[in-house]
């Protein structure tokens, strides 16, 4: 069983640029959620994709957007990068949209540094 894979593992961008992060969900999972983890903090929910549609969003501005593809893989796009966007971006897949019967399985994340 292949786990959640994310690419790239590390990325350095300049303020104002745009970035795309990619995630392949675990086999058999149909839902992808994205989280932002600042250094020394717990992950914060960005949004979830289910059946290729956004299905819930946290307190993040519209410059954070995403896509889910028919094979359930997903992309996170961030426009107009700000210094505070520097963080570990985690993708998590699940069999359903949440709760006890559809636990999150996280990838190892993409470390984004904005200079």
Residues at the contact surface with other proteins, assessed by CB under 8 A: 4, 31, 33, 35, 40-45, 48, 56, 58-59, 90, 92, 94, 96-100, 102-109
Residue 115 CB, nearest distance to other proteins (Å)?
A: 21
Residue 11 CB, nearest distance to other proteins (Å)?
A: 15
Closest CB to other proteins among 31 and 81? 31
Closest CB to other proteins among 16 and 28? 28
Task: Compute the Cα dihedral for 60, 81, 23, 107 and give only its sign.
Answer: negative
CB contact burial 6-15 (16+ within 10 A = b; e otherwise): beeeeeebee
Closest CB to other proteins among 17 and 65? 65
Distance CA(25)–CA(31), nearest Å, equals 8
Distance CA(40)–CA(22), nearest Å, equals 23
């Amino acid at each position: 069983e292949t786990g959640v894979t994310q690419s790239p593992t590390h990325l350095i961008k300049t303020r104002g640029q745009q970035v795309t992060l990619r995630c392949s969900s675990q086999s058999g999972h149909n839902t992808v959620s994205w989280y932002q983890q600042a250094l020394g903090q717990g992950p914060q929910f960005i949004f979830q994709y289910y059946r290729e549609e956004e299905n819930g969003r946290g307190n993040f501005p519209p410059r954070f957007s995403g896509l889910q593809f028919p094979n359930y893989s997903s992309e996170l796009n961030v426009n107009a990068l700000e210094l505070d966007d520097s963080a570990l971006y985690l993708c998590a897949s699940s069999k359903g949209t949440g709760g006890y019967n559809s636990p999150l399985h996280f990838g190892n994340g993409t470390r984004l540094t904005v200079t």
